[in-house]
Amino acid sequence: MSELDSITIDGVTIYLGSPIEEIPPWVGQREVLIQLLAAWSRIEETDLPLNPRLLGKPGVGKTTLACAAARELGLGIYIAQATMDTRPEDLIVSPVLAPDGGIRYMASPLVTAMVRGGALILDEGNRMSEKSWASLAPMLDHRRYVESLVAGVRIPAHPDFRFVTTMNEDASTYEIPEYIHSRLMPQIYVDFPEEDEEREILEAQVPFADGEVLEYVLSFLRQAHEHDLRYTVRDGINLVRYAMKVLRRGEVSDAETAVRSALQLSVGDDELEEFDLW
């Protein structure tokens, strides 16, 4: 095992995880990418990177944006998914049973990123409880460390470590406590891509897509945005993929019927009547 697979702090060995390798490309919206890179920058030796939050509807590409920023800086990418059940030990260090019957301490993606100097993306951070956020408070200010009560060690962050959290705009979330709120700055809002950007995303994600299928789905997305509905380019990708599966299997013979089938299963007939697609 190489030295990068584990770290020993005060006699305690902590085993590290692996970065995310496969991420989709970030298309367009260069302005928000620049905003995130600025938040992560250091203008002199004593300066510290900020810990921004990316806000927006589910599916607009917040996680992909964070991955693109990390890749532009040459950082390893680590993602932690926050839920209502996320505990402090899930965020930091968890004990597991070792092959010899003893206890092995496993680093979370956050701790692995801190040790290696990577970028940690805390996905859907406003689904997490105050208790879990409190365990990250010292990491989010000038101290830049976390403490593992399970392993009994304090873990400092590498100077290259960067943190960002994504937050969806929906009702099934917690209020972020004020002392954490002030540590998660700046707020960067990620909006729907422009139509030409959505087209480029769909073409990149579904390169085998039929042109007519793309046009129907893009029309659906454009009208959904105009009516402030929840559908995003992520929904568009799945609609195109399903429509193409129906077409390629020979179950229907034309793009309109294939897309209509995809929309009926995803949107429903009643809501579909609100759209002018055909």
pLDDT tens string for the chain (278 positions)? 344 599 999 999 999 999 998 887 888 788 999 999 999 999 998 999 999 999 998 888 999 999 999 999 999 999 999 999 999 999 999 999 888 888 999 999 999 999 999 999 999 999 999 999 999 999 999 999 999 999 999 999 999 999 999 998 766 567 888 999 999 999 999 998 899 999 999 999 999 999 999 999 999 999 999 888 889 999 999 999 999 999 999 888 899 999 999 998 888 777 777 777 66
Whole-angstrom distance, CA of residue 213 vs CA of residue 139: 47
Which residues 6+ apart lie within 8 Å of 250 measured at CB? Answer: none
pTM for the structure as a whole = 0.86
Q: How far is CA 170 from CA 47, 55, 56, 139, 160, in A?
A: 34, 11, 9, 27, 32
pLDDT, residue 277, reads 67
pLDDT, residue 70, reads 97
Contact between 61 and 233 (Cβ < 8 Å): yes
Sketch the domain layout of the chain as residue ranges. 3-189, 195-272
Collapsed DSSP state (helix, strand, coil) of residue 258: helix
Which residues 6+ apart lie within 8 Å of 215 measured at CB? Answer: none
pLDDT, residue 215, reads 95
Whole-angstrom distance, CA of residue 30 vs CA of residue 254: 36
Whole-angstrom distance, CA of residue 17 vs CA of residue 10: 20
H-only helix segments in the chain = 30-40, 62-72, 88-91, 109-116, 130-136, 178-181, 195-205, 211-226, 233-248, 255-266, 269-272
pLDDT, residue 3, reads 43
* CATH no. for 3-189: 3.40.50.300
Which residues 6+ apart lie within 8 Å of 206 measured at CB? Answer: 237, 240, 241, 244
Contact between 36 and 186 (Cβ < 8 Å): no
Q: How far apart are the first and last CA of the chain?
A: 60
